[in-house]
């Protein structure tokens, strides 16, 4: 597996990471725990060194899973987790608001360290920007944790460029995580140029459009009642039918490269910048192998121009999140 550095930091990770959320949370019932431990360890054997989790995934159960699977080899992997949500007091999935007060950040860090069974969190993201807490206070709180050796690197998730600049001035930001794929290209408007200027790495989540860009989902696909895609405007049957042309484009390119649509979608992301590290998630070993294969696909400048030209003629239907979740992005 090729390696990449996240921006100007010394944090080197595999060119492709693994998003772990779906193993425990959001995409239907949790997967079998032992199977997921096996999958995580197989990922390491296959060269993946970058793993993404968060306390809110479960809550807590995803961090516990990642900790059990990877703590014996934590010196050889990079584990990213997140703070910033106020969780349901009864322990049910979901959250009741945001909370990035410095004292809460410290509490989350201490608890995450225990669940992950590690001495220091490699990359600690603010999960969503909290409008009630100045980002300078957030960055300062993480800076203290870094000085204490409990955290190694600071990250932001779904933050706007001004917030990123303000945070970076207090504590250098190693990575920003936001959604980015061929069907959500908003980061190209100003985020990517800001990250390049500041020397910050970019970690696209949902690089396969929450499964849609794999070509395995159509307007007739049904999701489990606990699958959060049921709530997403982009996943209504009508939107899925309308957005099929994007998958058809990937299919056409994939055929010429003897690859799959998912591999082309990931290869396209990897070709955008050398400091971009996508984190596709999966619960299936065969899908993980398929995703890993994307690292070896070379897209020429002509290929990239063809994809961009064809994609520019496609208008993607449906918002990526419901309105209340959209309000929590880009702050």
Distances (CA, A) of 213 to 35, 126, 155, 249: 25, 27, 27, 10
**Buried b or exposed e, range 55-78, using 16+ CB within 10 angstroms:** bbbbbbbbbbbbbbbbeeebeebb
Provide the token pair at 44: 């390491």
Strands 173-179 and 201-205: parallel
Cα–Cα dist 249/252, whole Å: 5
Residues written for the chain: 331
> Annotated catalytic residue: which of 57, 180, 205, 321?
57
Distances (CA, A) of 204 to 109, 179, 215, 222, 259: 23, 5, 19, 26, 21
Q: How many CA atoms lie within 13 A of 295 on its CB side?
A: 20
Strands 18-19 and 50-52: parallel
Which of 1, 41, 9 is CA-nearest to residue 275?
A: 9
Strands 3-5 and 18-19: unpaired
Which of 266, 82, 114 is CA-nearest to residue 182?
A: 266
Cα–Cα dist 277/19, whole Å: 11
SS3 of 76, please? Answer: helix
Cα–Cα dist 239/96, whole Å: 29
* 212 C-beta neighbours (distance < 10 Å), count: 27
Based on the residue annotation, tell me whether 180 is a catalytic residue of this protein: no
The answer for 276, left when phi > 0, alpha when psi is -120 to 50, beta otherwise, is: beta
Q: Please give the positions annotated as active site.
A: 57
């Amino acid at each position: 597996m090729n390696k990449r550095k996240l921006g100007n930091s010394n944090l080197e990770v595999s060119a492709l990471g693994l998003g772990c959320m779906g193993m425990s949370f959001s995409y239907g019932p949790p997967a079998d725990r032992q199977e997921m431990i096996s999958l995580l360890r197989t990922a390491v054997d296959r060269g993946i060194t970058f793993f993404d989790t968060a306390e809110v995934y479960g809550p807590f159960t995803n961090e516990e899973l990642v900790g059990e699977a990877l703590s014996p080899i934590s010196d050889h992997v990079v584990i990213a987790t997140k703070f910033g949500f106020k969780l349901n007091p009864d322990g049910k999935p979901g959250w009741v608001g945001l909370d990035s007060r410095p004292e809460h950040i410290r509490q989350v860090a201490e608890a995450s360290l225990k669940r992950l069974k590690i001495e220091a969190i490699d990359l600690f993201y603010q999960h969503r920007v909290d409008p009630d807490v100045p980002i300078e206070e957030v960055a300062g709180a993480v800076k203290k944790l870094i000085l204490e050796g409990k955290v190694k690197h600071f990250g932001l998730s779904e933050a706007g460029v001004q917030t990123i600049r303000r945070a970076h001035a207090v504590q250098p930001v190693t990575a920003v995580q936001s959604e980015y794929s061929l069907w959500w290209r908003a980061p190209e408007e100003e985020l990517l140029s800001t990250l390049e200027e500041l020397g910050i790495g970019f970690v696209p989540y949902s690089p396969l459009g929450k499964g849609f860009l794999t070509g395995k989902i159509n307007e007739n696909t049904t999701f489990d009642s606990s699958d959060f895609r049921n709530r997403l405007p982009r996943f209504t049957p009508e939107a899925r039918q309308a957005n099929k042309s994007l998958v058809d484009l990937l299919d056409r390119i994939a055929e010429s490269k003897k690859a799959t649509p998912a591999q082309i979608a990931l290869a396209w992301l990897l070709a955008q910048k050398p400091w971009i590290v996508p984190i596709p998630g999966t619960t299936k070993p065969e899908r993980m192998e398929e995703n890993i294969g994307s690292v070896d696909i070379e897209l020429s400048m002509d290929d990239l121009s063809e994809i961009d030209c064809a994609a520019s003629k496609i208008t993607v239907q449906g918002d990526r999140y419901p309105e209340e979740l959209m309000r929590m992005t880009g702050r």
